Amino acid sequence: MFRPSLTLRLTLAFILLVAATSALVSVSLYRSLYTELVWRDNQTLVNRGAQLRQLLLDGAEPRSLPLYFNRMMNTRLDIVRIARPGQGIIVEVNQAGITLPVMDEVPAGMTPSAALLHHWRTASGADAAGLTLRGADGQGDVMITVARLSEDREQVLARYRQHSLVISLTAILLAAIVSPLLIRRSLRAIRALSRQTARTDSQQLATPLALDTLPAELLPLGRSLNVMRQRLAEDFSRLTQFADDLAHELRTPVNILLGQTQVMLQQPRSSEEYQALLASNIEELEHLTRLIENILFLSRADHRNVALDRQPVALASFIASVVDFLEPLAEEREQQFVVEAEGEVLADRLLLQRLLTNLMTNALRHSPAGAQIRISAAARDDEVTITVANPGEPIAEPEKIFTRFWRGDDARHTPGTGLGLALSQAIATLHRGTLSVSHHDGGNHFTLRMPRF
């Protein structure tokens, strides 16, 4: 499949533009020239007829008039006839031998004008124009006929057409030769930008492309590429950090399993010791299983590959059931849940339960003993708002709190994998909602906003 280059396309467009412009200019000037020449010839005929009539009226001899106009007329193209009604032709200058048609005469008292001219085509195909005026001399009435062939006008127009064609073809040829050179020169910035982009690797993503040499038309493209590079750099950094954190999270249980098994196999053990080892291994394997399931869920959620089983959920009873499930853990820490909930929402019950469990478990874990964990839910218009608030100091780096495996400065000294809030945010996004955190009134507030339907 033939794919014309940008240079070829722009060259063809430039050639077509030059050709169209040349044609438009040539036609416009040709029409103006034609109109001017026709007007000049018509005025010449009208003035000549009026002068002849006035000279005869002033007493000039009819036979002397052609001699008077010899230096003013082209006798090969101009025709003059003076005749006396009923007596025939007195004077005639008609070297071309053109047969004059019958023309309406202009009365003696009427001023001649170009509108009164009679136009016809001769037997040879030439255009001609003429005028017949009634006048008078000392002997009586006379008929004055003046006419002119357009051969010289046609010659001028023909030469103009030839010159216009030559000039237009020259302009088109120059456009075809010069435009590719100019276009290639102008496209150097694109080639330089392409080379810079082609040389980009993971080490250079954070370095923006130089935009100083780009023309104004390519600046939006350059800025877009820099925005894309910045996002790729951020994604690559997150991916690298995620891989590091994942390796760390997997290494710990694997090392525990490996170490315990190796120690156990160094010497014979009793069945009770083997059973204890198996129980410990099962606990670590369950931890690995939960970690892998969470990672798989996050990956599917990122690609919107999670089917939601939406159903009406009464918030008051739903939150009460989650509170009942976590009540033993709160009692151990001498903490208390305070619930204020109303309304209903259309959501995936299991996923919403998982989200609230994560938020409430996180609130219990980071609240002092004897603290109250407040859960409020309300439905207003088309939106549902659920807030889990617990007393505590402001969260360090709150912009990172929903990052996978991020657990703050004490990340390696607290239980969990650092995926709970990331999972909660993914569930909120699947429900077309948002999850945010703020600190006010001496506590941290995690707020879920999502559509009711």
Average the pLDDT over 419-443 and give the result: 88
Residue 182 lies in a domain: no
Structure tokens belonging to residue 285 = 């394997």
Structure tokens belonging to residue 444 = 């941290």
Q: Among the three residues 156, 181, 213, which one is the final residue of a domain in this structure?
A: 156
Q: Is the pLDDT of residue 449 over 50?
A: yes
C-beta separation of 386 from 447 below 8 A: yes
Share above pLDDT 90 across residues of the chain, in percent, rounded to a whole number: 32
Residue-wise pLDDT tens digits, 108-130: 889 999 999 999 998 888 889 99
- Calculate ∠ Cα 400-406-410, nearest 5°: 115
C-beta separation of 399 from 412 below 8 A: no
Same domain, 25 and 145: yes
**CATH code, domain carrying 410:** 3.30.565.10
Q: Among the three residues 279, 305, 331, which one is the final residue of a domain in this structure?
A: 305
Confidence category of residue 214, pLDDT binned at 50, 70, 90? confident
Residue with more model confidence, 214 or 320: 320
Neighbouring C-beta atoms of residue 432, cutoff 10 Å = 9
Residue 178 lies in a domain: no
Q: Is the pLDDT of residue 241 over 80?
A: no
Q: What is the pLDDT of residue 412?
A: 44
Same domain, 324 and 288: no
Same domain, 99 and 131: yes
Q: Could you give the CA distance from residue 83 to residue 45 in angstroms, rounded to a whole number?
A: 18
Average the pLDDT over 227-251 and give the result: 77
DSSP classification of residue 398: G
Residue 222 lies in a domain: yes
Q: What is the pLDDT of residue 414?
A: 53
Same domain, 383 and 326: yes
Domain extent, residue 243, equals 200-305
Same domain, 289 and 231: yes
C-beta separation of 111 from 102 below 8 A: no
For the chain, give the number of residues: 453
Residue 138 lies in a domain: yes
Q: What is the pLDDT of residue 317?
A: 92
Same domain, 241 and 220: yes
Average the pLDDT over 273-277 and give the result: 86
Q: What is the pLDDT of residue 444?
A: 92
Residue 389 lies in a domain: yes
Burial tier of 1 (Cβ tally within 10 Å: 0-12, 13-18, 19+): exposed
Residue 30 lies in a domain: yes
Q: What is each CA distance from 98 to 62, 353, 356, in whole angstroms? A: 21, 110, 110
Same domain, 205 and 250: yes
Q: Which residues are bridge partners to 120 per DSSP?
A: 128
Confidence category of residue 72, pLDDT binned at 50, 70, 90? low
Same domain, 259 and 345: no
C-beta separation of 146 from 49 below 8 A: yes
Q: How close are the terminal C-alpha atoms of the chain, in Å?
A: 50
Residue with tokens 């999670």, as numbered in its chain: 306
Residue-wise pLDDT tens digits, 25-38: 999 999 999 999 99
Q: Is the pLDDT of residue 411 over 50?
A: no
Q: What is the pLDDT of residue 22?
A: 93
* Counted domains in the chain: 3
Same domain, 332 and 250: no
Least confident of 82-91, 204-213, 439-448: 204-213
Side-chain half-sphere exposure of 136, counting CA atoms within 13 A:
6
Confidence category of residue 305, pLDDT binned at 50, 70, 90? confident
Q: What is the pLDDT of residue 188?
A: 81
Same domain, 439 and 317: yes
Q: What is the pLDDT of residue 94?
A: 84
Residue 193 lies in a domain: no
Q: What is each CA distance from 383 to 251, 357, 375, 380, in whole angstroms? A: 43, 21, 17, 6
Residue with tokens 């910045």, as numbered in its chain: 230
Least confident of 15-24, 31-40, 339-348, 397-406: 397-406
Same domain, 363 and 289: no
Q: Among the three residues 284, 305, 326, which one is the final residue of a domain in this structure?
A: 305
3-state secondary structure of 2: coil
Residue 384 lies in a domain: yes
Same domain, 206 and 225: yes
